[in-house]
A and B are shown apart, each in its own frame.
Chain A
Amino acid sequence: MRKSDSAWAAALGAAVAACVLTAVPLEAQAPSGLPRLAVSVTAGAMRPLEAPVRDLYSSVFLPVTVEADFRLTRRFFVFASGQFLSQDGEVVYDLPPAPVERFGLTLSTTSLRFGVGAWFPWGRWVLGAAGGMSHTRYKERWADAEVPAATGSAVGLIGQGGAEYRLSPWLSAVGRVEYSHVPLDETRELVPTFDLSGVSVSGGVLVRF
């Protein structure tokens, strides 16, 4: 993982959050009558920051996220979410005169996230930013090969910025931009590992209770 990549991505996320925090006037903030609990389901596209990860799998991963937000005050909320990802890739051996051999790969991750955020209703719009920690369990399998599956977990950080458009008092369309930093401990593995950090854009629906 190139630290400059993560630094730029984190800086971008921080900039978005800072803009939201500073630019939205207080008068536009939430009416007190909104429900405290919201559940959203989003699907999106994540770009892994590590080039070798993209080379092995794909430039775009497709995670699905289920998130629950609980409003603590007029401005702040806590959230818990689960993100699920399964991606196919391949390892290629090209050693002439033997024919090229390809071994399929499957990477699956389940990430549990917790954090806090701030939101700013603005008419039918709600802008928000959040940050927190993630615990990601991963499993990578080689298809048709006697290679043991690699499993493990990693603790990381996430930063989000997003917008919500209220279609009705209880239903909204939601879009998010997220940076997730998922470092891996290289000393635990046979080889130095890449990390699973990425930047994603996602969209979905949100229901308030």
Chain B
Amino acid sequence: MAGLGSSRLRLFAAIAAVLIILGPVAPRTSEISLLKINRRQPVTVPASALGQMAVVQELAECWLVEAPPPLAARLLAAGVSLEVLDDSTAGRVYHLLFAATSEQIALADPLGRVVHLEPGVGLLSSARELSRAELPADVAVKRLSGTVAAPLSFQVPGRGTAIPRPTADARLQPYDPRIGQMIAAVSQGMLSDGIRDLEAFQTRYASTSNCEAAGTSIHSYFSRLGLATESDYFTFTANNYATSNIIATIPGQVEPDRTVIVCAHYDSTSTQPATNAPGADDNASGTASVMEMARILAGYQFDYTVKFIAFSAEEWGLYGSRHYAQAARQRGEQIIGVVNLDMIGYPDFRPEELDVIVDGQSAWLGEKYVASANAYAPLPIIQSTNPSARGSDHSPFWDAGYSALLGIEDSPVRNPYYHKTTDTFGTLDMAFATAVTRASLAAVAELAQPVSLTPPPTGVAAHSLTARSIFTSRKTTVITWDAGDRNIVGYNVYRSLASHGAYQRVNSSLVKQTYYVDRLLLPDVPYYYVVTAVDLQGRESNYSVEVS
């Protein structure tokens, strides 16, 4: 018996030893940590880790990312420069605070824990919801919620790409002489008149009757052009004041549900806002530019809808644009891109350069703007990605998940008359403002696409399937579209690695069927497709809607 007992003991010991060596399956956790990841440092992370991370905010120097706690340790081990801001986000409410100084951000200290993320940006973590009235008045606030489409530009280990990168000389669209005609129609005189007319209201400070009169004037101008025009009323500062955005529309002929927006705020401010705020540069210049574009584009038809919007109450805290962008998100408006012009007339030196500012998700739009300007109306442009630039009407569109850019003479502002009673027409360089208007018109027209003789394919969709072997994963994408009319003899499919980027044709000969298979692509790389139709005369249509 003793020998038998000893044998069983050794058997159990052997089994136990094996199980201990193999180790138990680690318990899974549903907790989520909030991480600050330094985006300046190039790092390499496993692709599998990217799928577990959700970007909740992109800033100039960092990303705020939600991830399971064990992933933070893995990222640290992989050499990622990160800081754990909160071990668990459960029960926490986060507000981003934007201000000129860290002292202004520190005013929020009594409300919770404030972490300074980068110059001018703080994160307030509180245990309860906070009203706007509780938060510091001089600080721009954004409540963190959901995720954003900010691209994490980590380096992912791979075996090289099978897809050739677009070459630098790849064209966005063939040169369109109609856009050339539009550019030629931009009138410096009309633009000047527009600025002077707005300045003549003496003040356009939102909450004043003069501001409302300016809005009425803009409404009338759009209406006289034959554009469908509406006043989009809203209240601001706890419903104390009411004002309206003025919206004029050119309906799209092919995909009317997709919209290109060009906008500017028409309200102004100064040291005497109620009585004397001429705001010639800020922002009669941008508003007059939008009005001039409307005058010209009203005579054309486009594939996509074009909206010209003059926002109000920007100077009070981006109320007009936030009202519009949030409503657009709620109703599911498909906005292709937003071009926001704010202060485009004052040159701090000549030749002045236009600053084009985007966030990560809008980088394509900035590149498109520059490419369009180079093709049709060249002017010096400095494009920069700065998600922390929140001071104008593009910002609420970023927050709503749309692509938007800010066109501004200088960022930071260098106009010595900024927000003063001396911001008058005489300080402006109208040649520069005209050049910006031409460049912006080119970008808007390229985005909206003047209607072509051959209609582009509709119903374009892409479906992908990622299949894997033991070691390798590859994605195959099928792009489908609706059949065109009898005049269509085939289709071309174009692909880009960046949204609305430099498309390159992927089919070697005309595609006869209504689908195309793009095989064995890298699974972690987004690919963007457009399709064109070719008719019996060999004419190629505009690009279709982009799909990915």
Contacts and interface: CB of A to CB of B under 8 A. Distances in A.
A190 B524 contact: yes
A19 B7 CA distance: 8
Contact of B520 (A14, A18, A97, A147): A147
Interface in A75-110: 89, 91-98, 101, 103, 105, 107
Contacts of A191: 47-48, 468, 471-473, 523
B478 A97 contact: yes
Contacts of A27: none
A94 B18 contact: no
Nearest to A157: B21
Contacts of A98: 478, 515, 517
Residue of B6, B74, B471, B522 contacting most chain A CB atoms (<10 Å): B471
A7 B22 contact: yes
B159 A190 contact: yes
Nearest to A140: B471
Contacts of A196: 470
Contact of A97 (B23, B24, B470, B480): B480
SS class, residues of chain B in contact with chain A = mixed
Interface in A26-76: 52-53, 56
Interface stretch (B9-17, B373-381, B413-421, B484-492): B9-17
B156 A190 contact: yes
Interface stretch (A111-119, A160-168, A181-189): A181-189
Contacts of A158: none
Nearest to B77: A187
A103 B475 CA distance: 13
B25 interface: yes
Interface residues of B, number: 49
Contacts of A95: 463-465, 476-478, 517
A101 B18 contact: no
Contacts of A190: 47, 156-159, 472-473, 522-524
A97 B14 CA distance: 56
Contacts of B14: 14-15, 17-18
Nearest to A179: B18
B44 to A, nearest CB: 10
B170 interface: no
A108 to B, nearest CB: 12
B162 A18 contact: no
Interface in B509-527: 513-515, 517, 519-520, 522-524
Interface string A106-144: 010000000000000000000000000000001010100
Interface residues of A, number: 50
B17 A91 contact: no
Nearest to A151: B471
A16 to B, nearest CB: 10
A90 B358 CA distance: 45
A140 B469 contact: yes
B474 interface: yes
A56 B469 contact: yes
Interface in B43-96: 46-48, 74, 78
Contact of B10 (A22, A56, A94): A22
Interface in B451-479: 463-465, 467-474, 476-478
B46 A187 contact: yes
Contacts of A140: 469-472
Contact of A148 (B25, B46, B159): B159
B160 interface: yes
Contacts of A7: 18-19, 22
B8 to A, nearest CB: 8
Contacts of B523: 190-191
SS class, residues of chain A in contact with chain B = mixed
Contacts of B24: 3
A142 B520 CA distance: 11
A14 B13 CA distance: 10
A93 B158 contact: no
Contacts of B480: 97
B78 A187 contact: yes
B17 to A, nearest CB: 7
Nearest to B74: A187
A193 B22 CA distance: 18
Contacts of B469: 56, 89, 91, 105, 140, 142, 150
A14 B465 contact: no
B32 to A, nearest CB: 20
Contact of B160 (A11, A101, A105, A148): A148
Contacts of A150: 159, 469-472
Contacts of A152: 471
Contacts of B18: 7, 10-11, 13-14
Given A15-B11, A98-B478, A193 B517 contact: no
Contact of B471 (A15, A187, A193): A193
A96 B478 CA distance: 8
B46 to A, nearest CB: 5
B157 A188 contact: yes
A94 B21 CA distance: 42
Contacts of B470: 52-53, 56, 107, 140, 150, 193-194, 196
A18 B10 contact: yes
B467 A146 contact: no
Contacts of B472: 140, 142, 147-148, 150, 189-191
A22 B8 CA distance: 9
Given A23-B7, A107-B470, 20 more contacts: A3-B25, A10-B18, A11-B19, A15-B11, A18-B11, A92-B467, A93-B465, A94-B465, A97-B514, A101-B517, A138-B471, A140-B469, A142-B474, A142-B520, A150-B470, A187-B48, A190-B157, A190-B522, A191-B48, A193-B470
12 contacts: A10-B21, A15-B11, A18-B15, A22-B10, A93-B467, A95-B476, A105-B469, A107-B470, A146-B520, A150-B470, A189-B157, A190-B473
Interface of A: 3-4, 6-7, 10-11, 13-15, 17-19, 21-23, 52-53, 56, 89, 91-98, 101, 103, 105, 107, 138, 140, 142, 145-148, 150, 152, 186-194, 196
Closest 6 CB pairs of A and B: A150-B471, A22-B7, A18-B11, A191-B473, A95-B478, A18-B14
